[in-house]
């Protein structure tokens, strides 16, 4: 291709542009980003940036200065047509395009100033300022981001309540038997956890609950999940899954024509795990963007990673490796009051692991999953046996 357009100025867009240059592409390269900031990292937004130890998470490698990229900020793609992207700034012709528009938080309605969602650095700075002033915080959603925000707010000595409609934390991502392991952690951080508690409304003074109850709070933070930002692709011919994901093949190519996708928006067929998968992970955003970039240049490489994700929350480090959908058995190894690991197994194959404060299990699990190595469930349940010896 002579001209490549990357749509989305997040981690996947940045990595795709950098990888194209690293692979020797010297044609015209345009990155369209809706935000006013050059690409930055999101994981610290709910961690170090809220804690105040970091203020700027801009990604290294200045696309304009170092990589001769035409980086358009505050520029939103509106439509994709054969050979052109139409944006708020005009028309951008392409020979190949990489879609990397990421995802947006699912809203809960209401326009109260007290209500915060957390996706962008602007969101994070606004929330940090509110946390400085407010005395009490209600977090709606005991998910990854909700728990991280609750942790930082509690560390600032705010009164924190986490509310979730589900019977266990992390219910969108994990089975209840795993999420339940986190329950004691909230009290250890001084956080009040309310499960089985649907929220019916948000306002300037807190949260209304089903059944008529309330949680009064100066600040309300919603963290109930995100959706792929792909509404602008409707009618373009790019195949979209029911949840809005872009359906791609094993090389991350979608269509029509030379159209590729990377990051949070892409759903791809996984040979390792069977079926089509989509994940919202930092690691995947970077790795998929590199594969998409190489394939734009004709490499035709399959994308078949072992997904990896981490989260620092409630005084613990959680690390997840693999993909557990469709696994036959769940085995818990270790003890809830110490370090523990949840293992998802089918037959003698490990499919996924979630480890709490147990980086060695994560490394071992990754080796077993990637190598399709056999595992004895009986041995694996014993925390004294190393997973790679089980």
Assign 3-class secondary structure to the chain.
CCEEEEECCCHHHHHHHHHHHHCCCCCEEEEECCCCCCCECCHHHHCHHHHCCCCCCECCCCHHHHHCCEEECCCCEEEEECCEEEECCEEEECCEEEECCCEEECCCCCCCCCEECCCCHHHHHHHHHHHHHCCEEEEECCCHHHHHHHHHHHHCCCEEEEECCCCCCCCCCCCHHHHHHHHHHHHHCCEEEECCCCEEEEECCEEEECCCCEEECCEEEECCCEEECCHHHCCCCCCECCCCCEECCCCCECCCCCEEECHHHEEEECCCCCCEECCCCHHHHHHHHHHHHHHHCCCCCCCCCCCEEEEEECCEEEEEEECCCCCCEEEEEECCCCCEEEEEEECCEEEEEEEECCHHHHHHHHHHHHCCCECCHHHHCCCCCCHHHC
Residue 146 makes contact with ligand FAD by CB under 6 A: no
Among 232, 268, 303, 340, binds ligand FAD (CB under 6 A): 232
How many binding residues for ligand FAD (CB under 6 A)?
Answer: 36
Residue 232 or 268 with smaller CB distance to ligand FAD = 232
Q: Does 311 bind ligand FAD (CB under 6 A)?
A: yes
267 binds ligand FAD (CB under 6 A): no
**Taking the complex as a whole, how short is the minimal distance between the CB of residue 373 and ligand FAD, in angstroms?**
25
Say whether residue 270 binds ligand FAD (CB under 6 A).
no
Contact window for ligand FAD (CB under 6 A) among 205-213, 245-253, 278-286, 295-303: 278-286
Binding string, residues 321-360; x marks residues near ligand FAD by CB under 6 A: ----------------------------------------
260 binding ligand FAD? (CB under 6 A): no
**Strand bridging mode 96-99 / 259-261:** parallel
Among positions 43, 146, 305, 307, the unique one binding ligand FAD when judged by CB under 6 A: 43
In the window 96-125, what residues touch ligand FAD (CB under 6 A)? 100-103, 118-119
Residue 89 CB, shortest distance to ligand FAD, in Å, is 10
Per CB under 6 A, 94 contacts ligand FAD? no
In this chain, which stretch among 26-34, 201-209, 243-251, 293-301 interacts with ligand FAD, using CB under 6 A? 26-34
- Min dist CB 381 to ligand FAD, Å, is 27
Closest distance to ligand FAD from the beta carbon of 331 (Å):
24
Judged by CB, which is closer to ligand FAD: 100, or 182?
100
The minimum distance between CB 45 and ligand FAD, in angstroms, equals 4
- Residue 283 near residue 362 (C-beta atoms within 8 A): no
Of 67 and 381, which CB lies nearer to ligand FAD in the complex structure? 67
For ligand FAD, the binding residues (CB under 6 A) are 7-13, 32-35, 42-43, 45-46, 76-77, 100-103, 118-119, 145, 229, 232, 263-264, 280-283, 285, 309-311
């Amino acid at each position: 291709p002579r001209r490549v357009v990357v749509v989305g100025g997040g981690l996947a867009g940045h990595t795709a542009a950098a990888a194209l240059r690293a692979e020797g592409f010297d044609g015209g390269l345009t990155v369209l980003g809706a935000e006013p900031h050059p690409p930055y990292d999101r994981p610290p937004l709910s961690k170090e940036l809220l804690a105040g130890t970091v203020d700027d998470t801009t990604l290294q490698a200045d696309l304009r200065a170092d990589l001769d990229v035409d980086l358009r900020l505050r520029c939103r793609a509106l439509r994709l047509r054969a050979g052109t992207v139409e944006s708020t700034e005009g028309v951008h012709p392409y020979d190949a395009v990489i879609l990397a528009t990421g995802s947006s938080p699912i809203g809960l309605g209401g326009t109260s100033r007290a209500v915060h969602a957390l996706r962008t650095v602007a969101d994070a700075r606004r929330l940090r300022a509110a946390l400085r002033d407010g005395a009490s915080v209600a977090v709606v959603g005991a998910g990854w981001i909700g728990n991280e925000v609750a942790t930082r707010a509690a560390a600032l000595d705010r009164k924190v309540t986490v509310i979730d409609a589900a019977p266990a934390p992390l219910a969108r991502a994990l089975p209840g038997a795993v999420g339940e392991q986190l329950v004691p952690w909230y009290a250890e951080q001084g956080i009040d956890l309310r499960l089985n508690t649907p929220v019916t409304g948000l306002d300037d003074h807190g949260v209304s609950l089903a059944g008529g109850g309330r949680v009064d709070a100066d600040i309300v933070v919603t963290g109930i999940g995100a959706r792929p930002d792909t509404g602008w692709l409707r009618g373009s011919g790019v195949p979209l899954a029911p949840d809005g994901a872009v359906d791609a093949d094993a090389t991350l190519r979608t269509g029509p024509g030379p159209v590729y996708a990377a990051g949070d928006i892409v759903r791809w067929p996984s040979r390792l795990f069977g079926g089509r998968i989509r994940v919202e992970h930092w690691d995947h955003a970077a790795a998929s963007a590199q594969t998409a970039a190489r394939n734009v240049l004709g490499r035709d490489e399959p994308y078949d990673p072992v997904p990896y994700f981490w989260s620092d929350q409630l005084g613990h480090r959680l690390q997840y490796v693999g993909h557990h959908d469709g696994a036959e058995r769940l085995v818990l190894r270790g003890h809830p009051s110490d370090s523990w690991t949840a293992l998802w197994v089918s037959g003698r194959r490990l499919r996924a692991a979630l480890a709490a404060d147990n980086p060695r299990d994560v490394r071992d699990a990754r080796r077993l999953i990637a190598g399709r190595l056999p595992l004895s469930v009986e041995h694996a349940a014993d925390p004294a046996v190393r997973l790679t010896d089980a």
